[in-house]
A and B are shown apart, each in its own frame.
Chain A
Amino acid sequence: MADPVLSVKNLAVEFDTYGGTVQAVRGVDFDVERGKTLAIVGESGCGKSVTVQSIMGLTPMPPGRITSGSAMMGDIDIIGRKTINGEDIRGSQIGMIFQDPMTSLNPTMNIGSQIAETLIVHRGYSSKQAFARAIELLDMSKIPEAAKRAKQYPFEFSGGMLQRAMIAMAIACEPPILIADEPTTALDVTIQAQILDLLMELQRNNGMSIILITHDLGVVARMAEHVLVMYAGQIVEHGPVDEIFYRSGHPYTMGLRAAMPTNDPNAEQRLTPIDGSPPDLFHPPVGCGYFARCPHAMRICAEQPPQAHQLSAAHAAKCWLHHEANTQQVAQINLRDHAGEEPS
């Protein structure tokens, strides 16, 4: 990939708990392309939030510990750093919005001042300049009567409006990367559509890259160019959005698709749940993490971790089915199990 804005290599994160050490992220590599949207999907507990939080330096340490890996922005590894060339990474280089805007904002400060604070700290604005800019940012985030709303407090905002205010704050310093961690999970579908439209419009206008963390494949389909599928702390498959949906390479990705109803009036197929639950990350399995739930599991899957097999230029899956010895079997599996159909 040419000139990624962020390049993460071999990231691993552990947490010490009373029950032992949890290996939450176990060797993750990915690149974020300039001006594009990268989606990270997976079930709760798969490590998607921990991945981005440790890049941002938001993982509490202790109990957290980054045991290996790098995250390069240009020539600089931002893991463990707070600043690049004197500028704070958080806010200036990477903005972030969270799932729950209600608890992410300070209830005792008005919205405008919270946004202005970012500009005062990172950009050295005077408080008057900063507040004026905050109103412009709220307006850009499609908050009606921005000047009046800026003086209000979080409790006076609805959930959708708070998320807009969070977006205004995150883009205040025009960071090249915006991390959106389940930005619409707490919102109704109609409000979700508004927020997704807003994010796409902002991306078109200022060319920022978005890292979108979600478990909703519908949101991924609407927003993403490239997708990472995470399972048990690892990326099991990654690729361009169309290839992930129409030519899934990993049984877990196929399983996720088959567990969701399709909006096809003629398809009366039964939902196929993924039986069982994710592995215990106190003692991650030796082989493939999905082994215990995988309908295509073989003996080797329990014994050796699968390597990433390149399925096309930008599409790879970590699964033994793609080993040369198995290619015929894979063709059959795809015919039988594929929940996604590419519309002609």
Chain B
Amino acid sequence: MSDLVQIENLVKYFDIGPDQRVHAVDDISLTIGEREIVGLVGESGSGKSTLGKAVVGLHDKTSGTVKYRGELLPQKYTPHDFQTHATRMQMIFQDPYSSLNPRMTVGEIIGEGLKLHSGLDTAKVREQVGDWLERVGLEADHMSRYPHEFSGGQRQRIGIARALILEPEFVVCDEPISALDVSVQAQVVNLLDELKQTMGLTLLFIAHDLSMVRYVSDRMAVMYLGSLVEIGPADEVFFRPKHPYTQILVGSNPEADPKRERSRPSTAIQGEIPSPVNVPPGCRFANRCPEVMPTCHSETPTLITLKDVTAGKSPRQVACHLFNSDTLN
């Protein structure tokens, strides 16, 4: 698998006042292979969406680089850059209610990108919009309707059609299923999976539902307060989490299985995610960590790759002082 997207030391701060800045994304490096689905999980405020938006250029980068097939993407996108990159990279947004313009018909919403980028005439655009509506499970004659005429699941499909009509290679899905009912979540996840097979999509799948992320992703990355704490094959991270934070996150995820739930001890973590404005030195999880050591408060742990005896798998990386490069995975 060759690398499609290489994120290196990406930083995104938001200035919110004199000498005050939100450390939304702080020094993140992550490589996404071609046709790979990387799941990104973490609590709200951990910087998942900011990372996704910075990768596709919807946020300027404070520092660090994003490379696409080895080509350096701009630090700050100009309208021209969006024009160039929109056909390769797209985004599906979380809220199917606020991300569709209520004054545009569905046909205009889905077709706008194609009209701008392909130079096709109106009839051809309409034809393709109709095709895509059918591909995502709607009907071609829905294109003359307005977003308010659709349910949440249908709107999410419209958002998917809008993102995919340009046939991008890489799509950032920002919580595409969080707002949907269980029965509809499965429809959308299966649709994405099917399109991945047929179009060879690469996805960065942002979500907070861990069971769903494990189901969808090849690899899972865990974020806490702007930094990556663990990354590895989805099943390994989910079933054998290493970082104390990942352990708590996985342990808090209730399973639809009453007998297991009753026997599961409470893993409720104390406290809440601290403010990303004044980030303390050392490990960001130190003040909530059940296994905290003195070094955690002074030295910032970096992602280290665990030793793995089974070759051929993608490696597991953990940012925690409990582990070093000799630790066996």
Q: Which A residues contact B (CB, under 8 angstroms)? A: 43-44, 158, 160-161, 188-194, 196-197, 215-222, 224, 241-242, 245, 255-263, 265, 270-275, 277, 340, 342-343
In the bound complex, what is the Cα–Cα distance between A44 and B249 (angstroms)?
Answer: 27
Q: Is the CB of A189 within 8 A of B190?
A: no
Chain A residues, Cβ within 8 Å of B267: 193
Chain B residues, Cβ within 8 Å of A158: 272
In the bound complex, what is the Cα–Cα distance between A193 and B182 (angstroms)?
Answer: 20
Among B85-93, B118-126, B252-260, which stretch is in contact with chain A?
B252-260
Q: Is the CB of A257 within 8 A of B248?
A: no
- Residue from B190, B266, B272 in contact with A273 in the complex, judged by beta carbons closer than 8 Å: B190
Identity of the chain A residue whose Cβ is nearest the Cβ of B240 in the assembled complex: A265
Residue among B185, B189, B268 with max Cβ neighbours from chain A (10 Å): B268
Q: Which B residues contact A (CB, under 8 angstroms)? A: 43-44, 151-153, 181-187, 189-190, 208, 210-212, 214-215, 235, 238-239, 248-249, 251-262, 264, 266-269, 272-273
In the bound complex, what is the Cα–Cα distance between A342 and B256 (angstroms)?
Answer: 11
Identity of the chain B residue whose Cβ is nearest the Cβ of A241 in the assembled complex: B258
- Residue from B181, B190, B266 in contact with A271 in the complex, judged by beta carbons closer than 8 Å: B190
Chain A residues, Cβ within 8 Å of B152: 44
Q: How far is the CB of B96 from chain A (nearest CB, A)?
A: 13
- Residue from B190, B239, B255 in contact with A265 in the complex, judged by beta carbons closer than 8 Å: B239
Residue among A158, A189, A222, A245 with max Cβ neighbours from chain B (10 Å): A189
Q: Is the CB of B186 within 8 A of A197?
A: no
Identity of the chain B residue whose Cβ is nearest the Cβ of A240 in the assembled complex: B258
Query: Given A189-B252, A222-B261, A277-B151 in contact, is the A255-B183 Cβ separation under 8 Å?
Result: yes
Chain B residues, Cβ within 8 Å of A274: 183, 186
In the bound complex, what is the Cα–Cα distance between A242 and B251 (angstroms)?
Answer: 21
Q: Is the CB of B257 within 8 A of A343?
A: yes
- Residue from A161, A188, A194, A216 in contact with B208 in the complex, judged by beta carbons closer than 8 Å: A188
Q: How far is the CB of A199 from chain B (nearest CB, A)?
A: 12
Chain A residues, Cβ within 8 Å of B251: 193
Q: What 4 pairs between A and B have smallest CB-CB spacing?
A: A218-B254, A261-B215, A274-B183, A273-B186
Q: Is the CB of A160 within 8 A of B272?
A: yes
Q: How far is the CB of B36 from chain A (nearest CB, A)?
A: 18
The secondary structure that dominates the B interface is helix
Q: Is the CB of A190 within 8 A of B269?
A: yes
Q: How far is the CB of B9 from chain A (nearest CB, A)?
A: 27
Q: Is the CB of A193 within 8 A of B266?
A: yes
In the bound complex, what is the Cα–Cα distance between A222 and B235 (angstroms)?
Answer: 23
Identity of the chain A residue whose Cβ is nearest the Cβ of B275 in the assembled complex: A158
Q: How far is the CB of B212 from chain A (nearest CB, A)?
A: 6
Q: How far is the CB of B99 from chain A (nearest CB, A)?
A: 19
Q: How far is the CB of A291 from chain B (nearest CB, A)?
A: 15
Query: Given A193-B268, A261-B215, A275-B187 in contact, is the A221-B254 Cβ separation under 8 Å?
Result: yes
Q: How far is the CB of B259 from chain A (nearest CB, A)?
A: 6
Q: Is the CB of A245 within 8 A of B257?
A: yes
Q: Is the CB of A189 within 8 A of B210?
A: yes
Chain B residues, Cβ within 8 Å of A188: 43-44, 208, 273
Residue among B181, B235, B260, B269 with max Cβ neighbours from chain A (10 Å): B181
Chain A residues, Cβ within 8 Å of B256: 217-218, 220-221, 245, 257, 260, 262, 340
Chain A residues, Cβ within 8 Å of B238: 263
Query: Given A260-B186, A261-B214, A343-B257 in contact, is the A215-B181 Cβ separation under 8 Å?
Result: yes
Q: Is the CB of B253 within 8 A of A189?
A: yes
In the bound complex, what is the Cα–Cα distance between A261 and B253 (angstroms)?
Answer: 13
In the bound complex, what is the Cα–Cα distance between A342 and B44 (angstroms)?
Answer: 33
Query: Given A190-B252, A256-B183, A263-B214 in contact, is the A271-B189 Cβ separation under 8 Å?
Result: yes
Chain A residues, Cβ within 8 Å of B273: 188
List 10 A–B pairs whose Cβ atoms lie within 8 Å, in order of A's numbering.
A188-B44, A190-B268, A218-B261, A219-B254, A221-B257, A260-B211, A261-B214, A261-B215, A273-B183, A277-B153
Q: Is the CB of A259 within 8 A of B214?
A: no
Q: How far is the CB of B206 from chain A (nearest CB, A)?
A: 14
Chain A residues, Cβ within 8 Å of B254: 189, 192-193, 196, 216, 218-219, 221-222
Identity of the chain B residue whose Cβ is nearest the Cβ of A217 in the assembled complex: B256
Residue among A160, A242, A259, A343 with max Cβ neighbours from chain B (10 Å): A259
In the bound complex, what is the Cα–Cα distance between A6 and B98 (angstroms)?
Answer: 40
Q: How far is the CB of B158 from chain A (nearest CB, A)?
A: 15
**16 extra interface residue pairs, beta carbon distance < 8 Å, beyond A192-B252, A262-B211, A265-B235:** A44-B181, A188-B43, A190-B249, A219-B254, A220-B256, A242-B258, A245-B256, A256-B183, A260-B186, A263-B214, A263-B257, A272-B186, A273-B187, A277-B151, A340-B257, A343-B257
Q: How far is the CB of B254 from chain A (nearest CB, A)?
A: 3
Q: Is the CB of B210 within 8 A of A215?
A: no
Q: Is the CB of B181 within 8 A of A43?
A: yes
Q: Is the CB of A43 within 8 A of B255?
A: no
Identity of the chain B residue whose Cβ is nearest the Cβ of A244 in the assembled complex: B258
In the bound complex, what is the Cα–Cα distance between A189 and B44 (angstroms)?
Answer: 10
Chain B residues, Cβ within 8 Å of A262: 211, 256-257
Query: Given A241-B258, A242-B259, A273-B184 in contact, is the A197-B266 Cβ separation under 8 Å?
Result: yes
Q: How far is the CB of B272 from chain A (nearest CB, A)?
A: 6
Identity of the chain A residue whose Cβ is nearest the Cβ of B256 in the assembled complex: A217
Chain B residues, Cβ within 8 Å of A194: 268-269
Chain A residues, Cβ within 8 Å of B264: 222
Q: How far is the CB of B44 from chain A (nearest CB, A)?
A: 6
Chain A residues, Cβ within 8 Å of B266: 193, 197
Chain B residues, Cβ within 8 Å of A224: 258
Q: Is the CB of A43 within 8 A of B210?
A: no
Chain B residues, Cβ within 8 Å of A221: 254-258, 260-261
In the bound complex, what is the Cα–Cα distance between A143 and B251 (angstroms)?
Answer: 22
In the bound complex, what is the Cα–Cα distance between A189 and B42 (angstroms)?
Answer: 9
Chain A residues, Cβ within 8 Å of B248: 190
In the bound complex, what is the Cα–Cα distance between A340 and B258 (angstroms)?
Answer: 10
Residue among A161, A194, A263 with max Cβ neighbours from chain B (10 Å): A263
